[in-house]
């Protein structure tokens, strides 16, 4: 049972992300901004921080590939960025102490890196012609605020779940 818990949780987050965007209206609080949910990536970052590097990067690669195939149809963008940023965050939290506050800040840093990375890649392959300032105003700030709120709510349950999971792993 415990073995299937994490994949199921991640799959659920993977689908909720798309449902969230499906029902999000064009104007939120009267502003036409683009809010991008990163539920899945927040969970992957917390997994990397509280369970371990190996787990985090494997999950990041698998779900990055799935994300690319199902939602983006360009294979490579998330398949590369998810594991890469997870690794960077892991390295960062080796230097500073990992507790819930640093994990929260690290998750925000990871999401900003992801957004900027995806923007740069899409700009390179001409999926978008938005300039950087436009990107910051239209997408970056709203996305960061949305995900900060989500992380704030989800941080404690995720930490509890993953710490329990890592204890179970050690006991095996």
Partner 1 sequence: MPQFFLNKRLIILLVSIIVLVALIGFSLRERSKLTWPEQFLKDTTGWVQSLVSKPTHFVTGFFENLQDLQNTYDENKELKSRVENLVNLEAQVQELKKDNEELRDILGEKRTLRDFKPLPATVIGRNPDRWHEMIIIDKGKLNGIEKNMAVVTATGLLGKVKNVTQFSSTVQLLSAMDPKNRISAVVQGKKDVYGFVQGFDDKQKLLLIKSIPSGDKIEKGQTVITSGLGGVFPKGLMIGKVVDIKPDQYGLNQTALVKPGADFYDIENVIVIKRSMTKSVNMQTSDGKEKDY
Question: Contact residues for partner 1 (CB under 8 A)?
Answer: 11, 14-15, 17-26, 32, 34, 36-37, 66, 69-80, 84, 118-119, 121-122, 125-130, 134, 138
Smaller CB separation from partner 1, 100 or 138: 138
Nearest to 86 by CA among 120, 127, 50: 50
Smaller CB separation from partner 1, 114 or 159: 114
Smaller CB separation from partner 1, 128 or 166: 128
Nearest to 11 by CA among 34, 35, 43: 43
Distance of alpha carbon 112 from alpha carbon 95, whole angstroms? 20
Smaller CB separation from partner 1, 35 or 105: 35
Distance of alpha carbon 129 from alpha carbon 105, whole angstroms? 30
**Cβ 164 to partner 1 shortest distance, Å:** 26
The percent of the chain in helix, strand and coil, each rounded to the nearest 5, is 80, 0, 20
**Cβ 171 to partner 1 shortest distance, Å:** 31
**Cβ 68 to partner 1 shortest distance, Å:** 8
CB 150 within 8 A of CB 42: yes
**Cβ 135 to partner 1 shortest distance, Å:** 10
């Amino acid at each position: 049972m415990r073995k299937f818990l994490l994949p199921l949780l991640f799959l659920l987050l993977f689908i909720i992300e798309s449902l969230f965007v499906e029902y999000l209206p064009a104007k939120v609080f009267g502003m036409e901004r683009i809010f991008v949910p990163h539920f899945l990536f927040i969970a992957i970052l917390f997994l990397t921080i509280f369970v371990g590097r190996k787990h985090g990067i494997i999950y990041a690669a698998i779900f990055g590939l799935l994300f690319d195939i199902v939602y983006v149809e360009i294979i490579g963008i998330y398949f590369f960025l998810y594991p890469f940023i997870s690794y960077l965050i892991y390295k960062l939290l080796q230097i500073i102490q990992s507790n819930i506050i640093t994990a929260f800040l690290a998750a925000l840093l990871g999401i900003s890196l992801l957004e900027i990375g995806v923007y740069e890649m899409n700009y390179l392959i001409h999926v978008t012609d938005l300039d950087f300032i436009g990107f910051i105003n239209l997408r970056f700030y709203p996305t960061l605020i949305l995900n900060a709120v989500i992380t704030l709510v989800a941080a404690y349950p995720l930490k509890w779940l993953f710490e329990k999971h890592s204890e179970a792993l050690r006991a095996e």
